[in-house]
């Protein structure tokens, strides 16, 4: 109920990606990949601005229910879709909002070269 879980996971915050396979054994097929982990929700996706409109591996997002039970348990997620690795930043009694990717002034050597 609302009193027990005032911000229960909403279908709006459950993010999936449809992928159109352009090569390999699944060429011409569309597959579905779920970004969030069970019991958690993601929102405010960001990628390196230099990658807009291009294939990318890394996105950043805000994760709610980071501890799997409390809406106020929040983290910033860095998810590498190409390797499957996830890196989190969280701190007790901290409530991060939308993340931003800051590019260095010099030409970036890697997709995640920045802050």
Q: Render pLDDT for 17-66 as a digit per residue (tens, 0 to 9).
A: 555 565 567 677 776 777 777 778 788 888 888 877 887 888 888 888 88
Grade residue 9 by pLDDT with cuts at 50, 70 and 90. very low
Residue 57 CA to residue 88 CA, distance in Å, equals 16
Whole-structure pTM value: 0.69
* Residue among 85, 84, 78 nearest 112 (CA): 78
Of the pLDDT bands very low, low, confident and very high (cuts 50, 70, 90), residue 10 is very low
Q: What is the DSSP letter of 72?
A: T
Structure tokens at 45: 């996706």
Task: Pull the structure tokens for residue 2.
Answer: 């609302």
- pLDDT tens for residues 78-100? 988 888 889 999 988 888 888 87
| Cβ contact 53:65 at 8 Å | no
9, burial (CB in 10 Å: exposed 0-12, middle 13-18, buried 19+):
middle
């Amino acid at each position: 109920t609302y009193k027990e879980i005032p911000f229960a996971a909403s279908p709006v915050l459950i993010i999936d990606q449809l992928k159109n396979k352009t090569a390999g054994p699944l060429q011409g097929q569309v597959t579905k990949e779920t970004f969030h982990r069970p019991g958690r929700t993601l929102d405010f996706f960001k990628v390196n601005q230099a990658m807009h409109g291009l294939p990318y591996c890394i996105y950043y997002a805000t994760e709610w229910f980071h501890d799997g039970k409390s809406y106020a348990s929040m983290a910033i997620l860095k998810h590498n879709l190409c390797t499957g690795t996830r890196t989190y930043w969280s701190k007790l009694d901290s409530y991060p909002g939308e993340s931003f990717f800051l590019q260095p002034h010099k030409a970036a050597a890697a997709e995640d070269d920045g802050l």
